[in-house]
Structure 1
Amino acid sequence: MAVKAIRRLAGCAAAIGLTLTAGCAGAGTLGATANTVTIAMVSNSQMTDARELSSKFEEANPDIKLRFVTLSENQARAKITASTAMGGGEFDVVMISNYETPQWAENDWLVNLSENINETPGYDQNDFIPSLRQSLSYEGDMYSVPFYGESSFLMYRKDLLEQAGITLSRTPTWQQVADAAAKLNGPDMVGICLRGKPGWGEVLAPLDTVINTFGGRWFDENWNAQLTSPEVKRAVQFYVNTVREYGEPGAAASGFSECATQFSQGRAAMWYDATSAVSTVEDPASSTVVGKVGYAMAPMVEKPNSGWLYTWALGIPKSSDKKDAAWKFISWMTDKDYIKLVGEELGWARVPPGSRLSTYQIPQYQEASKAYARETLDSIEGADPLKPTVQPVPYTGIQFLAIPEFQDLGTRVSQQISAAIAGQKSVDEALEQSQQYAEVVGRTYQEQS
């Protein structure tokens, strides 16, 4: 990574920190004692389960107390980035992804976990799905470990499609999905739920896979911005039209959590999103559609295997002064035994999916996941962040660009897309503004070459 890029990321984080770390520090350290491990986590369902089960860890490790700071995805990204980049020390464990991990490892912000992994009996890093393990590594060493992994796929109500006489293959096209959404859309049931909420990890996650499979890209090989290219325009117009015509009410403010509620409560006929959504969709405690859902690979146009690759993982900031205790907690939460604990205590449908190969060999989980396990594994293993697009590109990453500027660039572009979904501007206007943002980033890389 270029030195200028590292400085830009650190500078951005510092600017964020001026407004956020005061609240963050209070949340993380208030009431903490010398043996308290403070964990910053995203407030997704699997993380809520981990918090519920954390008393088991404290019982086994009476010398360690746990303190959780749970935040929405956008808040978590901002606060964790600010704290880690500035060496604030508020957090001993941070939940990050395969976007941050290699970059932060290169910046020397994270502890190299390879020694801890090798010295922990039975931890078995080779049991992690290879594509995830590689995505969380830098120069051959792991700097965070996966809690759960995901790609993306299409979830659909088998009963509703059958009633409507609609058949979808395991590898549908986006046009087939849009046609089905049109037939299934009605006053009490939307045809499809698609994210529209601003955030590079919200609306851009599914939208980027659509752009990729339509033949679009963010930059060409020479870092010339391509957000007004015919391929990108066609993809974004398709996405915006589909969600505006057949999508959920208030789509411009709907992210993963909102769509999970819509689909699980029987108010959407289809949903394209993360494979990890099965923990909600197939959980009788939170879903009314258990057993009624079919699963298909990410819809495609030109590029097959168009699903994303993502993992929520746990790392230790260099600034933590409780690194040993932090690793004890991380190794507990990402171990094979934790998978079994979730299944036995909370139900096998709530097991964190897509992280360990051995999960798919557990008989109880095989039974619980038979409707979606194959699609999940095929999607994760088929995703190729090194070749994310039809045409060649100078970056890696599928639903994000693995460059430090993408946190800001992606957020700005996502705001433009959300505005188009809300009907506040046209797709052309949104992409013209997005192109200007991308050109600024592209020029910095052109200057370095």
Structure 2
Amino acid sequence: MRTQSRRRPPRATLAAVAAGTLLAPLLSGCWVGAGGAGSGGDSINVLMVNNPQMVELQKLTADHFTKDTGIKVNFTVLPENDVRDKISQDFANQAGQYDVATLSNYEIPIYARNGWLHEMDSYVAEDKAYDEQDVLKPMRQSLTGDDGKLYGQPFYGESSFLMYRKDIFEKEGLTMPAKPTWRQVADLAAELDGAEPGMKGICLRGLPGWGEVMAPLTTVVNTFGGTWFDKDWKARLDSPEWKEAVEFYVGLVREHGEAGAPQAGFAECLNNMTQSKVAMWYDATSAAGALEADKSPVKGKLGYAPAPVEKTESSGWLYTWAWGIQDASRNPDNAWKFVSWASSKGYEQLVGDEFGWSNVPAGKRASTYANPDYRAEAAAFQEMTKEAIEQARPDDPGVQPRPAPGIQFVGIPEFTDLGLKVSQEISAAIAGRQSVDAALKKSQQLAEEIAEEYEGR
């Protein structure tokens, strides 16, 4: 349930909103790429994050998309934090410098609400070859605005699940339940400590960041019965459910988690799992591709289970890097042609042919999971990933109604700052510098400041 209607405020207001809520400190220095070139005619400007699959896209564009359409694509490629800042500047001001940008399912509903994005329904209706219905339903829903229109198309998607060492479980005489609870996972972690020299039972993120420790922790809070805000925008971080969830998470990672947990994020846990320093890891489904890569020392040794639960049927998160077209784009038709190509079945086939099916930007289309080439290369995890994404409930992830969408985040502009500050308190508790009670007392005060802005809407 969303409480804000879609209005189009003046652009000066939009810029002020962005500066106050969506922007991190402004960057200095030079930008990478050709973003300075104006779009128009047979040229578009694309601003995107510098992850490996996007870099592969950049390599393939000229010889395939441009060759087939005559549309030149000028790419600007930046690290994640930098690209978010650059996108919010350009889109908030509707400067039109960039026609297309990579946005997540956190930003797209917010940007759509502010009138910064071009709707895509009209293009989807005409572009029958794109096959919108093949896009997994949770992905479509997460990229839909308050007005029911589509404002993004996914490049790839992910949920979260539990990864574990099958060989270590077998050696220790342990069995992973088909649908584990968090209590069962904690018991398993205790059994697995020291299963090999220096091995810990589980890896859980502890690194500060709304997209680091708060992502897995918020899914734990959800399934333990908690919520950041109730349906009336009352902050609930001082609730018994939040306390139980955070005490459980902090206790588990302190007792049976990885070394250096307060500084461990996705990358550190991936390294720990790859180097056999942990027996289990709860995190993004996208990690499986790296763990099962040809040169991975743990390839073929892993099992996968659904995200652990307590009071909910499922608890996996939902995330996608998607394409958004700026409303002020001078070339939206050509921008759509690029989006359609970059998120199509044909593009996935191209990547499979050129780089191998393990590199395909999956997690968005049902047809990917029916493709025999992909199923063969991703056999260990592909079905579990698809199920996790299909079971994700971004509008109803807990046991109570929510005032804003989101599973591992709250879909409001202020969450980037709120989530960061709360994460710092939680990380301090994981480090033993303060109690969980002290962390949640400070966090509740931070959330109440946000709640005051929304109550009564």
Tell me if TM exceeds 0.5.
Answer: yes
Alpha-carbon spacing, 1:395–1:63, altered in 2? closer, same or farther (3 Å): closer
Of residues 167, 172, 184, the one that matches 2:175 is 167
Give, in whole Å, the separation in 1 of the partners of 2:98 and 2:275: 36
Matched with 1:429 is 438
Which residue of 2 is the match for residue 125 of structure 1?
Answer: 132
CA–CA distance in structure 2, aligned partners of residues 38 and 280 of structure 1: 30
- Which residue is 1:113 aligned to? 120
Deviates more, 1:118-127 or 1:147-156: 118-127
C-alpha displacement of 1:90: 4.3
Q: Does 1:261 align with 2:271?
A: yes
Alignment correspondent of 2:211: 201
Residue-by-residue CA offset, 1:335-393 (whole Å, 9 max, x unaligned): 00111122222222222222011111111112223322222222222222222212343
**Please, which of 380, 385, 390 is the counterpart of residue 371 of structure 1?**
380
Instruction: Find the counterpart in structure 1 of residue 309 from structure 2.
Output: 300
- Classify the secondary structure of the residue corresponding to 2:286: helix
| Structure 1 residue corresponding to 2:18, chosen from 13, 32, 47 | 13
Mean CA deviation greater in 389-398 or 1-10: 1-10
Match of 2:201 in 1: 191
Comparing 407-416 with 88-97, greater Cα deviation is found at 88-97
* Post-superposition offset of 1:18: 9.0
Query: Could you tell me which residue of structure 2 aligns to residue 243 of structure 1?
Result: 253
The alpha carbon displacement at 1:305 in A equals 0.7
Unaligned runs of 5+ in 1: none
- List alignment gaps of at least 5 residues for structure 2: none
Q: CA, structure 1 residues 412+198, in 2 after alignment: closer, same or farther (shift >3 Å)?
A: same
The TM-score, its normalising length taken from structure 1, stands at: 0.90
Describe the SS at the equivalent of 1:142: coil
Q: Structure 1 pair 97/332, CA: closer, same or farther in 2 (3 Å)?
A: same
1:146 partner SS: strand
Q: Is the 8 A contact 1:198 1:252 kept in 2?
A: yes
Deviation per residue, 1:396-445 (Å, 9 max, x gap): 32111122222222222122222222333222221111100111111222
Which residue of the other structure, out of 177, 184, 199, is the alignment partner of 1:176? 184
Residue from 137, 142, 145 that aligns with 1:135: 142
TM-score (normalizing by structure 2): 0.89
C-alpha distance in structure 2 between counterparts of 1:50 and 1:261, whole Å: 26
Give the 3-state SS of the residue equivalent to 1:141 in structure 2.
coil
Aligned counterparts of 2:163 and 2:140: Cα–Cα separation in 1: 26
Mapped partners of 1:437, 1:272: distance in 2 = 27
Question: 1:87 maps to which residue?
Answer: 94
The structure with the greater share of residues assigned to helix is 1
2:87 partner letter: I
1:230 counterpart = 2:236: no
RMSD: 2.7
Instruction: Calculate percent identity across the aligned residue pairs.
Output: 50
Structure 1 residues 276 and 17: CA distance shift in structure 2, 3 A: closer
Instruction: After TM superposition, give the deviation of residue 222 of structure 1 in Å.
Output: 2.8
Q: Distance in 2 between matches of 1:394 and 1:4?
A: 15
**1:60-109: CA deviation from partner (whole Å, max 9, x where unpaired):** 4554033231313x443333223322224443321112222122112110
What amino acid maps onto 1:384 in structure 2?
R
Q: 1:142 to 1:53 in 2, by over 3 A?
A: same
1:355 aligns with 2:364: yes
1:203-222 mapped onto 2 (5 Å cutoff) = 203-222=213-232
**Cα shift at 1:118:** 3.0
CA contact (8 A) 2:62 2:72 kept: no
Contact map agreement 2:61 2:73 (CA 8 A) in 1: no
Question: For the residues of structure 2 that align with 1:197 and 1:404, how far apart are their CA atoms?
Answer: 22
Q: Is the 8 A contact 1:194 1:247 kept in 2?
A: yes
Q: Which whole-Å CA distance do the structure 2 matches of 1:259 and 1:46 have between them?
A: 21
Shift of 1:21: 5.5
The 1:329/1:292 distance shift into structure 2, 3 A limit, reads same
Q: How far off is 1:126 after superposition?
A: 0.9
Counterpart residue type for residue 148 of structure 2? G
Residue of 340, 347, 351 corresponding to 1:331: 340
More deviation, 161-170/29-38: 29-38
Q: Confirm whether residue 280 of structure 1 aligns to residue 290 of structure 2.
A: yes
Contact 1:28 1:38 in 2 (8 A): no
